[in-house]
Structure 1
Amino acid sequence: MNEHAGAVGTQSPATAVGTQSPATAVGTESPAPAVGTEHEPRHDRPFVSVVIPVYNDVDRLRLCLDALAAQDYPADRYEVLVVDNNSDQDQSAAMPDDERFQLLHEERRGSYAARNTALPLVRGSVVAFTDSDCLPAPDWLSRGVAALRADPRPDAVGGAIRIFFDHGPRPRSGPEHFEAYNEFQQRKYVEEWSFAATANLFVDAATLARVGPFDASLQSGGDLDFGTRLGRSGARLVYDDDTVVNHPARSTWQELGRKTLRVANGIADRNAHQGRRHALGRAVNEARGGVTIWLRVWDGSRPAPARAADKVRYAAAFSYVRALRTAVHLGRFATGR
């Protein structure tokens, strides 16, 4: 789940699978001393609650949970809360036989609603977010906690999201080239746009309680909304390149199209209050970009693959994305919604 992609609202009661007693509030654990080196005693490590929304992704969820079970962080200092977002599949098949891992359920569709379901149950003074299709590095928790406890202390950390390809080290299809050049630019998100994708986000639990949960009404863009509220609260968000999760590239046109429509509709929802003229302006800009990319990949004004055939694949995928976005904004212009 993304948002990549990805709430304030009433949540359905969560049902936990496991033997741990759920907590009743975010961040009820007493603050732990700072983590600075790997030689610190185990009891000095803050307890971390990892939150993962999932929808019909049992195979990749299993790989994600395997990676979390193998973290170099002390095993008794973290828990993993997986929230099934009303899947058709049985997500319990991916759950390890480990009491640290709990499966919750949220019927309201949307990854932000799913994340919110876990928040009243977390026990940690640190809350870490990732997605079911991500593969956290073995030191993901250790690195994220160290970055969050650095001096001067930030309130939240956005970590690196590294794209990988199922068939090898290089992109092949147009959608893969598009993802490689355009998606998950976490450093830019944090340092220029003041938000972090929830595929790799660590937040101090006290800060999270103060800022509030994600906007459950959003199907996309909740990361940006949360980052905006985080900044307005006076909290400090930083980027850390050593806190790494790996994310598979979308390799097919269908996958790229689904992601594009979800994000475009999320943008349109957030900007609906600006009216029909704004929607038309967005449509014109998107259409223009879909045309000019065919020039920009050749004149060097936009980063692009080196090989001519790959430039064509990339430009085709870029135009496809812009055409879908154009259609969404034209639809909003036509309906006035």
Structure 2
Amino acid sequence: MTPRIRGNDYTVLEPPALGSAWTPSLRASVVIPAYGAQEKLDLTLAGLAAQTYPADLLEVIVVDNGSDPPLRLPEIRPRGTRLLVCEAPGRARARNAGLAAATGDVIHWMDSDVVPERAEVEAHMRWHHLAPYLSVTSYLRFSTAPLPDPEEVAGTDDLATLFEPAEPHAWIEDLVARSQGLTRSPRPFSIHIGGASSANVRLFERAGAMDPDMILGQDTEMGYRLAQAGAVFVPDPQARAYHLGPSMRMRDSERINRVSHALVTDRVPGYRWLRTHPSRQWKVPQVEAVVDATAGSYDEVRATVDGVLAGTVTDLAVVLTGPWDELAPEQRAPLKDPRLDLVLLRAHYAHEGRVRLAAAPPDTLSPYRLRVPPGWSPGEDGVGALLATARERELGLVSVLLAEDAEGIVTARLERTEAFARAALIAAEGENADDLVDEMFGTYWADGETLGFRPFGEAAPYLNPRAAYRARVSAQAEVERLTKEVERLRGQVAKWRDEAGRWRKSAVEFRREIGALRKQISALRRTQGQSQSQGLRGIARGLTRPFTFKKS
């Protein structure tokens, strides 16, 4: 039975030790996009020629992305190595050409300036034999050592002797360390790098090819789509390789981030902190709501769609499903048209940018899909509350009980895309997707009334979007004002504490001075008392001495 991995906790799997007696059967396709730098490509292929993974299960596809002079295959290379030419510029197009030509069960991306250690491919493939929905990433070290000869690379069991000292891939190692080995990361797809990552070909069939419009950030965007296809991401410190020289990000991180963030923000809802605008739309929305236009009247469907669009969650789109292609463009007697309600819905939402008409719910890249029955509208923050529940508890499904009677129950559903995609990958015949999602991600039932869901005719009036926006801006300003006031008061308290400390110190010193003065006074009193006593005693002696008159 295919393992059911909960969340991204791949630690439930037990891969065989490297070099142990295990029998691989999956074929690996290493895809290497390359542009120039023949001497580095020679070292990459020399490293692949020395791999411990069986040669008959390994193919290598080098894609020349318009090099001048053209690249060639060196003498030292794996037996199953092919050279393709991709004239269209861009690393994404080169990778897609290699992906289309690959025949393996697993696609292993590798850059043409990465030299793998002998067991690197084996380290990846031992994981893929355990589950068909894994994405494995190597640990890279960045070397600035002089380039050795290919013969040296192919002939050594220890690349460290050739490429050390080297720097670690710091941000990946830090991410893994902070997230308990990536098992507690909310965005494990971030670890997907094109330099040395692999995934089962079934995931690529669901996720699609690389986006050629992504001039930078394509590895992250590809990782996000693999996640929505159901992937579990595995960082393997035993899968090691050397990157020849620093990465682009190491050389110019500020400019790289500026470009990649501009492109990634539109396509990866997971990076919510990049979506700072309160109401604009993105290519891939955070939530995709689905409403069946055939399951209610025009008024009921409209109430549901408008209610979803009127909520506080604006990073959202609606798919309105129905037989739109079957509708006649014109009718001589429109009021007698049996599909008049569908005609009205099509006309009503034809120019609404957040509503799309479709025959059936398409595959989605949105991390969440909301299904709402016509005639029910969520409260102003109903969708936001559903999202908060799903995120905080890392759930795969939140079901909302709307109504219950003798005929059954009426529900809305917030589905996590990657959870249901993974369930589809592993489901055996007869297995229920909801049960699998519950096993791997968890499910939860919520009360519709608490979330503000109301049936048609009872929904609260919609807030004016501009007024709501102004209210949010005003509230944010008030929060900022109060935050500043709290900081000011904290500073004042700190000042008072310092002042109180100085007063306490002064009081202690004052007490010490009083004590010293008291001692001095006591000493003076004792001295004065002794003098007085001596004088009185002298007087007393004089008075008691016999008194005689002298004769003159």
- Look up the match of 1:215: 211
Match for 1:238: what amino acid?
Answer: V
Q: Give how far 1:183 is off.
A: 7.3
- Look up the match of 2:134: 155
Q: Give how far 1:35 is off.
A: 7.6
Match for 2:207: what amino acid?
Answer: V
Give the aligned CA root-mean-square deviation in angstroms.
Answer: 3.4
Distance 1:185 1:134 in 2: 21
Distance 1:209 1:81 in 2: 19
Q: Cα deviation per residue 1:248-303 (whole Å; 9 max; x = unaligned)?
A: 3329x99824x76455323223347989979xxxxxxxxxxxxxxxxxxxxxxxxx
Q: Give how far 1:169 is off.
A: 4.2
Contact 1:64 1:133 in 2 (8 A): yes
1:135 aligns with 2:130: no
Q: Give how far 1:161 is off.
A: 1.5
- Look up the match of 1:267: 261
* Stretches of structure 2 lacking an aligned partner (at least 5 in a row): 1-13, 147-162, 268-273, 279-552
Give the SS at the match of 1:109.
coil
- Look up the match of 1:5: none
Match for 1:115: what amino acid?
Answer: R
Distance 1:95 1:184 in 2: 35
Q: Give how far 1:80 is off.
A: 0.2
Distance 2:276 2:70 in 1: 42
* Stretches of structure 1 lacking an aligned partner (at least 5 in a row): 1-33, 279-337
Match for 2:260: what amino acid?
Answer: G
* Partner residue of 1:249 out of 233, 241, 245: 245
- Look up the match of 1:205: 201
Distance 1:68 1:109 in 2: 26
Q: Give how far 1:93 is off.
A: 5.2
Q: Which of 55-64 and 161-170 deviates more? A: 161-170
* Partner residue of 2:89 out of 109, 127, 138: 109
- Look up the match of 2:56: 76
Give the SS at the match of 2:246.
coil
- Look up the match of 1:166: 145
- Look up the match of 1:283: none
Give the SS at the match of 1:88.
coil
Number of corresponding residues: 234
Match for 1:199: what amino acid?
Answer: G
Distance 1:240 1:46 in 2: 19
Contact 1:180 1:249 in 2 (8 A): no
Q: Give how far 1:138 is off.
A: 0.3
Contact 2:48 2:78 in 1 (8 A): no
Contact 2:108 2:199 in 1 (8 A): yes
Q: Cα deviation per residue 1:117-164 (whole Å; 9 max; x = unaligned)?
A: 1112111111111100001010011111012224x6652112211222
- Look up the match of 2:293: none
- Look up the match of 2:188: 194
* Structure with greater proportional strand content: 2
Cα 1:112/1:186, change in 2 over 3 Å: farther
Distance 1:128 1:72 in 2: 15
Contact 2:45 2:77 in 1 (8 A): no
Cα 1:73/1:256, change in 2 over 3 Å: same
Q: Which of 117-126 and 231-240 deviates more? A: 231-240
Cα 1:103/1:215, change in 2 over 3 Å: same
Match for 1:158: what amino acid?
Answer: T
Cα 1:155/1:65, change in 2 over 3 Å: same
- Look up the match of 2:22: 40
- Look up the match of 2:39: 59
Contact 2:96 2:209 in 1 (8 A): yes
Q: Give how far 1:89 is off.
A: 2.9
Distance 2:69 2:255 in 1: 23
Contact 1:160 1:186 in 2 (8 A): no
Contact 1:72 1:139 in 2 (8 A): yes
Distance 1:83 1:224 in 2: 21
Q: Give how far 1:63 is off.
A: 0.2
Contact 2:45 2:78 in 1 (8 A): no
Cα 1:205/1:95, change in 2 over 3 Å: farther
Distance 1:239 1:277 in 2: 34
Give the SS at the match of 2:29.
strand
Cα 1:143/1:248, change in 2 over 3 Å: same
Cα 1:194/1:180, change in 2 over 3 Å: closer
Distance 1:154 1:241 in 2: 19
Contact 1:159 1:186 in 2 (8 A): no
Match for 1:140: what amino acid?
Answer: E
Cα 1:143/1:97, change in 2 over 3 Å: closer
Match for 1:269: what amino acid?
Answer: L
Choose 1 or 2 for highest CA Rg. Answer: 2
